[in-house]
Amino acid sequence: MMQDSLLVVRKAALFANLLPEDLEQILKNARVRQFKSHEPIFSAGSEARAFYFLVSGSVRLFRLSPQGEEKVIEVIMPDSTFGEGVVFLGGRYPVHAAAVTDSEVVELATNHFSSVLASNHDTALRMLAGLSTRLHQLIQDVASLTLESAGQRVAGYLLSQCPPGGGQAAIHMMIPKNVIASRIGVKAETFSRVLAVLRSGGLIHVAGNDIQILDREALMRWRDGVGRP
């Protein structure tokens, strides 16, 4: 891998604590792949031969109900890894993965990755710190899905997309609204309805895929005190 690629992959929480020589060894047999929008990356139940780092674009991880309804488990954005759990659990992918938009990934073979970890316990321990960060975020996501109303989840999602600071903020939704809605556990029509409520309340302005947060503090208060919809 090129040196600039090493620097890019280091942005992932999984690799953040690794020494440069550790990361270089892990990436020794990695390859860059391109996926078009909606193109499958792997399927649930298929043999887990690799995991991935997302360089650009977006990827959705999802399950299908017996009726064929898609439930988005997670939306992967750049500088994140996905599918890495199979390295430690082995076997087959538990979810489907597909590109939401045109995407570039770094593909890492699980057998090579496992052999590197097996031969260097210090590297494995440093990587556990990165996994702990990811686990903490997943726990927060589960808490949100089980304890918050649909309105709170939509408002919380908008706030999570804001840059640091207060006051107004501009958000460009790069992911389709139906994918976002599935990810936060609401129907697409409910997502749109909450946006309409927030817009009529003077908290946001919506123009296509661009959302302007007009008063971030007010939106936070609305989220924290909302009991609807």
State which of 146, 173, 204 marks the end of a domain.
Answer: 146
199: domain CATH number? Answer: 1.10.10.10
- Indicate if 25 and 64 belong to the same structural domain: yes
Residue 144: per-residue pLDDT: 59
Q: What is the pLDDT of residue 96?
A: 96
pTM, 2 dp: 0.76
Which residue segment(s) compose the domain that 85 sits in? 3-146
* 172 and 207 part of one domain: yes
Both 20 and 117 in one domain: the answer is: yes
Q: Residue 39 to residues 43, 48, 99, 141, 188: CA-CA distances in angstroms?
A: 11, 18, 5, 26, 22
- Work out how many domains the chain is built from and give that number: 2
> Does residue 180 share a domain with residue 141?
no
Mean pLDDT by 10 residues, the chain (229 residues): 64 81 85 95 93 94 88 91 78 93 93 82 69 62 69 90 83 89 88 94 92 92 68
Whether 105 and 14 map to the same domain: the answer is yes
Residues 23 and 131 in one domain: yes
Sign of the alpha-carbon torsion through 223, 221, 209, 55: negative
Task: Based on the fold, state whether residues 86 and 40 are members of the same structural domain.
Answer: yes
pLDDT of residue 89: 66
**Which of 78, 112, 146 is where one domain is finished?**
146
